[in-house]
């Protein structure tokens, strides 16, 4: 969901980039982790065998709100999710909320890691998005691939594009992934 719903803009400023990334995370998580269970009520029973964040919303009132005023229901989900992401005191959180906060914190680290190169990425993605929308899918896909491959060739060690950013961000990612797996196996 994240990349498919993300707008890209040539020359975007850092504050707008950071806000866009936070908003995209919020929107994607609200839609894929909450709203989907209102759109397809049978999905909840068929999905996870443990409690999930959406369960706190799957009640008679919010189902009625969803049916009668979907925009207010979605804004409620966004507001509650944002509260957990940035402002709810951790000592009041359950395990699911703690992980939502940790992943939000990971996204903040992502913004710091990419602070020196976000314009380069944003411009390349804007060109990809624009030219694809204008019907140049094959040509722009090849150019985008060539750009990534050229970036990978700059890394003499393993051919990893954006090695410095990957090296800076990967400890956050792998630590969170390990801790999450440990928390899930012990709960």
Please write the tens of the pLDDT for every residue from 68-121. Answer: 999 999 999 999 999 999 999 999 999 889 988 988 888 888 889 999 999 999
Q: Which letter does DSSP use for residue 170 in this model?
A: H
pLDDT at 176: 87
CA atoms of 35 and 53, how far apart (whole Å): 11
Query: Please, which pLDDT band fits residue 180 given cuts at 50, 70 and 90?
Result: confident
Q: Which ranges constitute the DSSP H helices of the chain?
A: 14-30, 36-39, 42-46, 60-68, 70-82, 95-113, 118-133, 137-153, 163-186
Instruction: Indicate the domain borders of the chain.
Output: 3-186
**pTM for the complete prediction?**
0.77
CA atoms of 108 and 19, how far apart (whole Å): 10
CA atoms of 25 and 19, how far apart (whole Å): 10
Please write the tens of the pLDDT for every residue from 6-63. Answer: 899 999 999 999 898 888 888 888 888 899 999 999 999 999 988 899 999 999 999 9
């Amino acid at each position: 969901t994240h990349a498919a719903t993300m707008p890209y803009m040539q020359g975007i400023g850092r504050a707008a980039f950071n806000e866009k990334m936070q908003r995209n995370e919020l929107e994607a998580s609200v839609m894929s982790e909450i709203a989907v269970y209102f759109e397809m009520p049978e999905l909840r029973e068929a999905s996870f065998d443990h409690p999930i964040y959406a369960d706190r919303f799957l009640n008679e009132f919010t189902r009625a709100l969803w049916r009668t005023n979907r925009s207010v229901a979605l804004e409620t989900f966004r507001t509650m999710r944002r509260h957990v992401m940035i402002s709810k005191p951790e000592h009041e959180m359950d395990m699911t909320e703690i992980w939502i906060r940790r992943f939000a914190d990971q996204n903040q680290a992502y913004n710091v890691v990419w602070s020196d190169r976000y314009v380069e990425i944003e411009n390349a993605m804007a060109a990809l998005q624009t030219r694809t929308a204008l019907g140049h899918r094959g040509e722009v896909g090849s150019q985008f691939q060539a750009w990534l491959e050229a970036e990978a060739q700059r890394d003499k060690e393993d051919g990893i594009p954006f090695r410095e950013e990957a090296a800076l961000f990967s400890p956050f990612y792998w630590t969170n992934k390990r801790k999450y797996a440990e928390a899930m196996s012990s709960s």
